Structure 1
Amino acid sequence: MSTQTNLLRPGGTRRSTIDDVPTIPTRAIKGIVLLLCCALVIIPFIGVISTSIASQAHVTNSGGFVLWPDGINLASYKSIFNGGVVQRALVVSIVITTGGTLISLAGSTMLAYALSRSGTFGQKPMLLIVLFSVLFSPGLIPNYLVVKEFGLLDSLLALILPTAINGFNVIVLRAFFMGIPESVTDSARIDGAGDFRIFWSIVLPLSRAVLAVVGLFYAVGYWNAFFNAMLYINDTAKWPLQLVLRTYVINNTELSGGDLGGASADQLPPQESIQMAILVVSLVPILIVYPFLQRHFAKGMLTGAVKG
């Protein structure tokens, strides 16, 4: 009797519970909505890939966007990997993403571990500084002046060092490190292990899930960043791929034969195919990396969310 009372609202109507099975019309509506949402995401992606591999005649007849190609033509990919601006920008982006992610992970993990250990010198003031950086960010002009004073203009370090430490990621790592039982580290300390040995041999192996998530956050941030490059990099030879993508795809600037390794204009594929090929190349690395980190992603995202 008490169970039935708990399932009733004050007006006498029954409250829904987790065990309630949705009706067939409700399930059908949900399925249709989900299919529409998937179509809104998948169809443009298919169109981008199809346009990049379609023949020149098919692209021209379709008005620059092909939903399903009549064959596979890799001329646009051959043109962008012919030693021109796109290939050079891809190498720059890989260097920035790889180096920046390693630097950011190293700095963030060491800072977070120091902030997670009680008795660390300057722990509270440094934690306040990290929290302050999450709530407030410096303006555009101060950032530019700092980069200029350090002599980092036209340097790839200008795309790494100003964003090397992210306060939010430090807080996530700190929450995970605080969840590691102190008995584990204390037993290692009794055996003669120092702070660095405990950090390297015990803490990091136990933190693979959160490190994978934070590393993915940093890698995606470095890979997709273009605004800092637009501010600090004047040499087009040092442009990352995303700035090339913005210049030649979003701004619809035409790629010449000189930009694509010296190919003649009559040998170039349609500009639409080249632009879509650049877009596909910018998406592929993240699509390759994410499946390997997916099994760690859910566990890492729940860091600090469950107590007890």
Structure 2
Amino acid sequence: MSMQNSKKFSLFELLLIIGFTLFSIVVLYPFWQTIVISFSDPKQISGLGMNLWPESWIPDAYQYVFSYGSIMKAYVNTIVRTLSGTFLIVAFTMLAAYPLSKKDLPYRNTITIFFLIAMFFSGGIIPDYLLVKNLGLLDTRWALILPSAVNVFYIIIMRNYFMTIDKGIEESAIMDGAGYFTILTKIILPLSKPVIATIALWAAVYHWNEWFHALVYMQDDAKTVLQIIVRDMLTAMDASQSENAAAIGAGGGSGNLLLANVRAATVMISIGPIVLVYPFVQKYFIKGIMIGSLKG
């Protein structure tokens, strides 16, 4: 009987492995195909089909992208924006969520309702622009960071997570003379790595991909972000030719590029840092979301 159960379990494991392997291939193939197109000879792209390996690895598309305008400066601006913006979002989220996690906080429900109203209703683009202008933030990096520094959804998620932490730990610290700020920084935050990593990942992805505010608030090209430069570059190429037409030379007479080459290269350049960061926070991601979304 035990041998039969062992065989059935082994067969189930085999089917599970095969299923997840096929699923992984389906998920990873478009990503790999993008890499192949970005390095392929333009003459091979139209007949590339399901080829998993280019005949020759040609970095012309990347050379063209990195030689376009001020893309390197925009890359640095985007990194600075992502790091500083993520730090502010996480910091403000913690400072708002910790008091709201206290059931004895005066007017706690009123403050929570006020936050929820702000989450569902906003003034719109024009009031936002006028506010940024009146604060003197136009054409400054602060215009891309401060308006998004407080996110009510993140506050609710972190507040719910804080409410799951054993209150006895805080009570013991208070009896030892610790203040609330000391408890937050020395006790609560070390116990809240999953939700902090989750919020930080969401904030980093938002700041890395967001381009509309940079388009509206920024006038100096030296302060613009990567997504704007990429958008302008692809728009300029798309306006001059169709996707399958011969495009701009990659500087050095190495041949002609297709718009598909450049698009694939910009995708890889744009998502690179986020893809590298994600594996380090992925182990906290599911736990942070689940615990932070359960308790109200």
TM-score, with structure 2 as normaliser: 0.80
CA–CA distance in 2 between the matches of 1:230 and 1:66? Answer: 38
CA–CA distance in 2 between the matches of 1:76 and 1:66? Answer: 19
Cα deviations across residues 157-214 of structure 1 (Å, max 9, x unaligned)?
A: 1111111111100000000111112211011011011111100000000000000001
Shift of residue 154, structure 1, vs aligned partner: 1.2
Which letter maps to 1:173?
M
Shift of residue 247, structure 1, vs aligned partner: 2.5
Shift of residue 51, structure 1, vs aligned partner: 1.9
Which residue, out of 154, 176, 183, partners 2:161?
176
CA–CA distance in 2 between the matches of 1:124 and 1:251? Answer: 52
CA–CA distance in 2 between the matches of 1:108 and 1:66? Answer: 47
Shift of residue 70, structure 1, vs aligned partner: 1.0
CA–CA distance in 1 between the matches of 2:63 and 2:24? Answer: 34
Confirm or deny: 8 A CA contact 1:76 1:269 kept in the other structure. no
Distance 1:291 1:37, change over 3 A: closer
Which residue, out of 33, 37, 47, partners 1:47?
33
Shift of residue 283, structure 1, vs aligned partner: 1.1
Which letter maps to 2:284?
H
Distance 1:304 1:58, change over 3 A: closer
Which residue, out of 247, 257, 272, partners 1:270?
257
**Between 120-129 and 109-118, the greater mean CA deviation after superposition:** 120-129
SS of residue matched to 2:291? coil
Shift of residue 306, structure 1, vs aligned partner: 5.1
Distance 1:66 1:154, change over 3 A: farther
Cross-structure match for 1:233: 218
Cross-structure match for 2:145: 160
CA–CA distance in 1 between the matches of 2:51 and 2:130? Answer: 46
SS of residue matched to 1:192? coil
Shift of residue 84, structure 1, vs aligned partner: 3.9
Alignment of 1:277-296 (within 5 A): 277-296=265-284
CA–CA distance in 2 between the matches of 1:154 and 1:36? Answer: 45
Alignment of 1:1-308 (within 5 A): 35=22, 39=26, 41-59=27-45, 62=47, 68-82=53-67, 84-249=69-234, 252-253=237-238, 264=251, 266=253, 270-272=257-259, 273-305=261-293
SS of residue matched to 1:69? coil
Which letter maps to 1:92?
N
CA–CA distance in 2 between the matches of 1:112 and 1:297? Answer: 18
Shift of residue 302, structure 1, vs aligned partner: 0.6
Confirm or deny: 8 A CA contact 2:89 2:149 kept in the other structure. yes
- Structure having the larger proportion of residues in helix: 2
SS of residue matched to 1:160? helix
CA–CA distance in 1 between the matches of 2:256 and 2:132? Answer: 40
Which letter maps to 1:277?
A
Indicate the percent of aligned positions where both proteins have the same amino acid.
Answer: 35
Distance 1:87 1:232, change over 3 A: same
Distance 1:105 1:149, change over 3 A: same
Which letter maps to 2:61?
S
CA–CA distance in 1 between the matches of 2:57 and 2:255? Answer: 16
CA–CA distance in 1 between the matches of 2:80 and 2:293? Answer: 34
Distance 1:152 1:211, change over 3 A: same
Q: Which runs of 5+ in 2 are unaligned?
A: 1-8, 241-249
Shift of residue 275, structure 1, vs aligned partner: 3.1
CA–CA distance in 2 between the matches of 1:268 and 1:114? Answer: 61
Cα deviations across residues 251-287 of structure 1 (Å, max 9, x unaligned)?
A: 74579xxxxxxx8574676153233212111111111
Distance 1:271 1:92, change over 3 A: farther
Confirm or deny: 8 A CA contact 1:53 1:73 kept in the other structure. yes
Shift of residue 120, structure 1, vs aligned partner: 3.4
Distance 1:187 1:91, change over 3 A: same
Cα deviations across residues 53-75 of structure 1 (Å, max 9, x unaligned)?
A: 1235435x659x98742121223
Shift of residue 291, structure 1, vs aligned partner: 0.7
CA–CA distance in 1 between the matches of 2:225 and 2:44? Answer: 31
